[in-house]
Each structure stands twice: as C-alpha cells, then as structure tokens.
Amino acid sequence: MAVSEPVDASLAAVLSKVVSDGIIAPGFESGTAEVLSAKMGGRYVVFEARTDYEPPEWEHREVFGIRLAQEARRLAITAEVVAVSGSSRLPDKAVADLVLAMVTARYTQSNSVTYAKAGMVLGVGAGQQSRIDCTKVAGAKVDIWWLRRHDRMRSLTFKLSIRRQERINWQIRYIEGDMDPAEHDRFLKVLEVRPEALTAHERSTCLARLDEVALASDGYVPYRDNIDQEDVTIVVEVR
C-alpha cells in the first residue's frame, strides 16, 4: 500500500482487513503503525516516507554487465499539462482523473495504459509488448470492477466462514464466467444459495452504463486502434 497522506485510525482499521504485504506513508498517527505492523503475524512491513526526498537527476540500472542511464522525469504532472484540442473544455473532475491516470502510467512498467474514474485508478495494463494489449488488460479490469457492483454480485450469499478476499476472488471468477465443472462445484460450496448465471444481456446492459472513464498512455498512440478497443473519454500521452 502506498498512501499520500498520514495514516489515521480510521484508515488503519480499513487497511488492517485488506490483503497486502506492507505500507509506505508520509506519516502515522499515534498507534496506527503498531496496528498495521501486527498484520501477517508481525511480518507486515511499515515504511515512513521522507516528504523532503529529492530523487537523483539520473537513473541507472545494470543488466548483465551493461549499465543503462537515463535522465529522471522532472515534468510535474498537473492540470496544466492536460490540453484539449478545439474550443471544448473538460470538467475539473475529468482533468483530475487524467492527472491521476498519467501519474500512475509514469510509475508503471512500459508499455502502460491506465484507466481512472472518480479519483480512483480502476485498471492498469503494464509491461506488455503491445500497447493495444495494455488497453485490453486494463479495460478488462475496469469491466470487472464495474460488474462487481451489479445487483447480481451484491446478492451472492457467501457463508460466514468465507473471508473477504476469497469472496472477491469468487466474484471475479463468477463474472469471468469460464469456470470448469470442478471449480464451479467449489464455488457453490462457499454459497448459502445457488445463484443464477450472469447473462450476456445483463453484462452488456450493465457495462453500457459505465462512462466518464479517463485513459492515459505512457507513450504516443499514433492510430485509432487503442481508442476503438475501448470506448473511453480521452487519451493523454505522457512523454
């Protein structure tokens, strides 16, 4: 977990129930670091970030005896770098989502495409050889995030012994809809009531209501293929 503000008691209570291996934050209110460090039987890693840290001007990496160097990216990603062609103007919330998507793209492995909505990054496709594949991977994550809010998902009645992360995993597999018979039997055993299948019509109808999603790429998108792959609000290139 990477947090941009000091951790308070309410955030520590939430994070204590979320699966992760460690956290880095610019500060921790009294007692919160102790709450988090108790996770994983005391093996949870807690880092306090230095807010005054300035990265070096050059980044270096050595690969099989070859030393690579590149100048660090210094451009501040702010609302001022979001330019729109023509006379139209984006709403402030769209600009904020684009900034968030661009910052995320900067710090993920290239090729990278990121989706954001309402101040949240919903999907990241990173490390792919094709930027179209990045778009597909990130877009599939966004679809799953949205479909998890479908009434059919909310009505799944898991047994009380099933933990939160396991419930999420089963929701995703239920949405993906390609369980083999053995896996489907295991799925039914974690539920109190047998669910109906999520139909193709229900899926498409739900996804059609998803809008105002911003997309950013860590490189130039020269053709329409990425845009046609997913119906997105706008594309911004991070150079």
> 10-residue block means of pLDDT along the chain (239 residues)?
91 88 93 90 91 88 94 86 79 93 91 93 93 91 93 91 92 91 94 89 90 88 72 45
Which residues, at least 6 apart from 66, have a Cβ–Cβ distance to it below 8 Å? Answer: none
Residue spans per domain, the chain: 9-48, 58-146+209-237, 151-197
Give the C-alpha separation, 7 to 95, whole Å: 26
pLDDT at 19: 85
The pLDDT value given to residue 62: 94
Phi, psi at 164, each rounded to 5°: -55, -50
Q: What pLDDT, on a 0 to 100 scale, did the predictor assign at position 230?
A: 59
**pTM for this predicted structure:** 0.79
d(CA 145, CA 176): 12
Residue 47 C-alpha from the chain's centroid: 21
Q: What is the amino acid identity at position 168?
A: I
Fold of 58-146+209-237: Cytidine Deaminase; domain 2 (3.40.140)
